[in-house]
Amino acid sequence: MPHSQNNKGLEMDTHYPLIDTHTHFDDFVFDADRVELATSAYHSGVRHLLLIGYYAKYFDRMLQTQQQLADQADSGAKVPKVYLASGLHPAYISEHTEADLEQLAQFLQMHPNVAIGEIGLDTFTDELKSEQSVAKQKRFFEAQLDLAAQHQLPVLLHIRKAHAECLALLKKHKYNANKLGGIAHSFSGGEQEAKAFVKLGFKLGVTGQITNTNAKKLRRAIRAAVETYGLQCLVLETDCPDMTPICCQQGEEPTRNVPGNLGFVLQGLAKLLEVDEESLARQLWQNSCEALRVDWAYPE
């Protein structure tokens, strides 16, 4: 998908400390200006970000990006701390092989990861919802849940048009999100599904889609989950370079999303839920730490 260059002129009124729980900041579309964008993200409040895996062939690219930004931090630059979450994405199931599962297992042994993702089920297209595809997706999903249980890591779920099937598989599996944590990334289900995932122990990942007032189903689902479980059930993510907040989109072409836009997601969510941004930001930080089973101090 083509992405126009990002909106460098937009400014947020106030910056609060934030954690971007889902990025593809290792993507080649950031190669030319990644350091500049990371610096901008830090100054807009982003203190930690996750690089999310989806193809075994890109695991090394994630490592290189993490090292690139760690080198910048070592040289005195102000950039977010970067963490890895590796996995095999269900939408690319036709290309994944048993060797990829083995490569994932080895990568988890060799490199610190804070989660396994993005994994799950996707029946968005005719090809993906074929009997053969769904069977292979379920097999790979369960294998990765096994790895999560083995390493005691949370999982980051990718689910499209398969929420009921995903819930059923999670319930019968030994993976326990109430103990291990986890996030339903870029949540897109309905009200009952939202509450069902939170009940299982998952936080709901909120992207720039929340700023789209036409995304009525999503906005109702997030409200319903909060009404039942409180603000504790949500985390923020950009999913960059995708899911650009409405206010950051430019022209007809898809606008590349960047980690520095996370504050606009916070603004949109605060407006939807009618809560103040500062207290919401603090709660979302705590939620992110709970979902990832980490203890990152809130910057005062």
DSSP 193-208: HHHHHHHTTPEEEE-G
Quick one: what percent of the chain has pLDDT higher than 70?
96
3-state class of 233 per DSSP? Answer: helix
Measured CA to CA, the distance from residue 231 to residue 273 in angstroms comes to 9
Measured CA to CA, the distance from residue 74 to residue 56 in angstroms comes to 28
To which residue do tokens 């100054």 refer? 43
b/e map 51-63, b = 16+ CB within 10 Å: bbbbebebbebbb
Q: Hey, what are 264's tokens?
A: 């606009």
Q: What is the pLDDT of residues 234-255, one digit of tens each?
A: 999 999 999 999 999 988 888 9
How many residues would you count in the chain? 300
pLDDT at 35 over 60: yes
| pLDDT interval class at 4 (50, 70, 90) | very low
| pLDDT interval class at 3 (50, 70, 90) | very low
Q: What is the pLDDT of residues 112-158, one digit of tens each?
A: 999 999 999 999 999 999 999 999 999 999 999 999 999 999 999 99
Q: Model's pTM, two decimal places?
A: 0.96
